[in-house]
Amino acid sequence: MSDTGDFGRRIRHHRDRLGLTREQVADRAEMSAGYIQYLEDHPGVPDSGTVRRLAAVLETTARDLLGGGRDRPPGPGPAMAQPVLETLDAEESLRLIAPGGVGRVAFNGSHGPTVLPVNYKLHEGAIVFRTAYGGTIDQDLRTGMKGVELLIGFEVDRLDEAMRQGWSVLVQGPAQHVPQEEAERLADAHVSPWAGGERELYIRIVPQQITGRRIHSG
């Protein structure tokens, strides 16, 4: 909605992240569902006690709900007391990244090691993202030899700062420039470019190696 404030958008984001309805959030926070809807749909911030209760229910922090620290890197706080690092198999790793979102591509570019954010989707077992013809990614990922593709890395992670836990998945595979005649089929993946604009080149990463890690309390 046009008049929704940042606070309301953050409530909705965390509620969607946890798969909770307004009624479930309201019940756990001891509020009415109508009040949760009002907070989501209108600008403004309630009293500090309400913010703290909502943060607890949404498994985040009051600071995060209020937008504090949004320009800082994630996870600046101390690690959990007894962290456990779990190795994820390829099937679980793919399940975690399957919803799509923002990941990072890593490759040896013309100016040295390069890591860039991209919007991606998992489509028919491959990672797909869009970039601009003639742009940095396009040029740096072309080998100049027909049939020879550059091996690159693709990484996705999720951090839960409130719970001090998260996961990271790394995919390695050849970067394929999708021919224009195949691009129409990939349009079904509904991939939007990270930087917007005219970015009609589809890059497809076919996984050759998939590794994942999850960190949680012992």
Residues 142 and 168 in one domain: yes
Structural domain including 96 reads 83-217
What mean pLDDT, rounded, does the chain reach? 85
Residues 96 and 181 in one domain: yes
Residues 102 and 194 in one domain: yes
Instruction: Name the pLDDT band for 124 (thresholds 50, 70, 90).
Output: confident
- For residue 99, pLDDT beyond 90: no
Instruction: Name the pLDDT band for 44 (thresholds 50, 70, 90).
Output: confident
pLDDT, position 218? 65
Give the residue, 77 or 131, on which the prediction is more confident: 131
Q: Is residue 189 part of a domain?
A: yes
CB neighbour burial string for 56-91, b if at least 16 within 10 angstroms, e if fewer: ebbebbbebbbeeeeeeeeeeeeeeeeeeeeebeee
In the chain, the percentage of residues whose pLDDT exceeds 90 is 45
Give the residue, 195 or 64, on which the prediction is more confident: 64
Instruction: Name the pLDDT band for 1 (thresholds 50, 70, 90).
Output: very low
DSSP annotation of 47: -
Residues 105 and 210 in one domain: yes
Number of domains forming the structure of the chain: 2
DSSP 166-196: EEEEEEEEEEEE--HHHHHHHGGG-PPPTT-
Distance from the Cα of residue 68 to its chain's centroid: 19
Q: What is the rounded average pLDDT of the residues 81-108? A: 91
Distance set, CA 40 to CA 1, 25, 43, 58 (Å): 9, 12, 8, 13
pLDDT tens, 126-160? 999 989 888 889 999 988 777 778 899 999 998 77
Residues 114 and 200 in one domain: yes
Q: Is residue 72 part of a domain?
A: no
Residue 195, domain CATH: 2.30.110.10
Residues 22 and 115 in one domain: no
Cα 52 to Cα 57: distance, rounded to the nearest angstrom? 9
